[in-house]
A and B are shown apart, each in its own frame.
Chain A
Amino acid sequence: MNTCQEPVIHLMHAYLDGDISRQDEQMLQAHLAECPHCREMMDELKMSALFLKSAAPVNAPEGFVSGVMARLPKEKSQAGFQR
């Protein structure tokens, strides 16, 4: 474990969120270039994010909409005349 981690980890996350100033990013890159521990951690964090992005979209099953409509409370009787 190296002592540089805490503030650097914060910068890594800010970087991953696209929420980092140019100055901080340069600081982070300079640090990563010389610190193999932090570089490894950064790679692992990037991998975790990429892994999540590999999740395939899942669609609602057939009949979902009619299922919802069947669960709605009964329509007010005057509605039919207003259309």
Chain B
Amino acid sequence: MDELVNKRINEVIKGNQDAFGEIVSLFQHRLYHVCYRMLGNPQEAEDIAQEAFVRAYVNIHTYDQKRKFSTWLYRIATNLCIDRIRKKKPDFYLDATVPGTDGLNMYSQISATGDLPEEEVERMETQERVQYEIGRLPDKYRTVIILRYLEELPLQEISDILELPLGTVKTRVHRGREALRKQMGNM
């Protein structure tokens, strides 16, 4: 597959835009899936995954063909997702008390990031619950957990994608799993 990809990339570099369509076809589902899990929203996932392919096209000459193309592509996409998540975050501390609300904090005001009542969580179907629990993980753990468990990538590849030392990736997988265990309690 890598050989086919590199052949198409060389055609793209020569100016054949159609060859890029074949690359997009090959990787569209994997890339969309990562973005969907990171962002939890189909419209945003489509926008960001498409943007990632556009960036890959524009910067194709910087791709080192000795390395895996999917690693490079995942890196572009995860960076875009993290930027998007940061931009969405409100510019105040979520656990700060809202004045005049008798102890309510910002978490209780933002349903997307706040915890849902237990009965509601229990009613969720498995797929919905997976997305809910992933969405509650802190960003830096969420990324490694998605790559490790949903994309089933080896730790070394995750380290290449995120440009983090292998030890840091391991620590984040550990902490992510730990966070998940705590937030799920006894299922």
| The one of B17, B31, B33, B145 that contacts A79, using a Cβ cutoff of 8 Å | B17
Is B17 a contact partner of A75 (Cβ separation < 8 A)? yes
Which secondary structure dominates chain A's binding surface? Answer: helix
Is B155 a contact partner of A17 (Cβ separation < 8 A)? yes
Is B21 a contact partner of A65 (Cβ separation < 8 A)? yes
Is B133 a contact partner of A51 (Cβ separation < 8 A)? yes
Q: Number of B residues whose C-beta is below 8 Å from A?
A: 45
Is B14 a contact partner of A79 (Cβ separation < 8 A)? yes
Question: Does B180 belong to the interface (CB within 8 Å)?
Answer: yes
Question: Does A19 belong to the interface (CB within 8 Å)?
Answer: yes
Residues of chain B lying within 8 A (CB to CB) of residue A51:
129-130, 133, 180, 184, 187
| The one of B42, B50, B127, B174 that contacts A71, using a Cβ cutoff of 8 Å | B50
Closest-CB distance, B152 to chain A (whole angstroms): 8
Interface string of B161-174 (1 = CB under 8 A from A): 00000000010011
Is A13 a contact partner of B21 (Cβ separation < 8 A)? no
Residues of chain B lying within 8 A (CB to CB) of residue A60:
28-29, 31-33, 46, 49
Interface string of B6-50 (1 = CB under 8 A from A): 000000001111001100110011011100110000100010011
Q: Number of A residues whose C-beta is below 8 Å from B?
A: 37
Interface string of B108-130 (1 = CB under 8 A from A): 00000000000000000011011
Docked Cα-Cα span, A38 to B137, in Å, equals 23
Docked Cα-Cα span, A59 to B30, in Å, equals 8
Interface string of A65-79 (1 = CB under 8 A from B): 101110111011011
Question: Does B104 belong to the interface (CB within 8 Å)?
Answer: no
Docked Cα-Cα span, A16 to B31, in Å, equals 26
Is B24 a contact partner of A68 (Cβ separation < 8 A)? yes
Is A58 a contact partner of B15 (Cβ separation < 8 A)? no
Top 3 closest pairs, chain A to chain B, by CB: A79-B15, A60-B32, A52-B149
- Given A13-B174, A56-B127, 17 more A-B residue pairs with CB atoms under 8 Å apart are A17-B173, A45-B177, A49-B149, A51-B133, A51-B184, A57-B29, A58-B29, A58-B37, A59-B33, A60-B28, A60-B33, A60-B46, A61-B46, A64-B28, A71-B51, A71-B54, A82-B14
* 26 A-B contacts (beta carbon < 8 Å): A13-B170, A16-B177, A17-B170, A44-B184, A45-B178, A47-B187, A48-B181, A54-B130, A55-B37, A55-B134, A57-B29, A58-B37, A59-B32, A60-B49, A61-B32, A61-B42, A61-B46, A64-B24, A64-B46, A65-B24, A68-B21, A68-B24, A68-B50, A71-B50, A76-B15, A78-B15
